[in-house]
Amino acid sequence: MSPQDLIRTSLLLGAFVLLAGSYGLLYSVGLLLDRPALLLASHVSFALQCLVTSAIILLTPLTPWWKLLIVASCAIYFRIPPVTWRYLHQIHERSGED
């Protein structure tokens, strides 16, 4: 792996993580504050994460195993905020703190 490959891979993986966090944060705050614009921004963040995932697959020298892990992570990240939000909502309904 050349130094340029290392820097490119590091930047793309950093962007991948940053966009995953942005998606979760914007999704949660959008629902909490009932702000459709934030929900839209969360989906834009996820779309950008998908583009970064594609760039990681095409432009980095990672082994196929790592690339598969990145693709699987991207797919799973899409479901985490909605599932977590639904679970927290159910907990609050059961406890009467809606």
Ranges of each domain in the chain? 3-95
Give the model's pLDDT for residue 8.
95
65-90 burial code (b ≥16 CB/10 A, e <16): eeeeebeeebeebbeebeeeeeeeee
Which residue is it, tokens 């930047």? 11
pTM higher than 0.75:
yes
Six-digit token pair at 61?
Answer: 């020298």
pLDDT tens digits for range 10-38: 999 999 999 999 999 999 999 999 999 99
What does the alpha-carbon distance between residue 61 and residue 42 come to, in Å, rounded to a whole number?
Answer: 29
List, in order, residues 6 or more apart from 37 with CB less than 8 Å away: 30
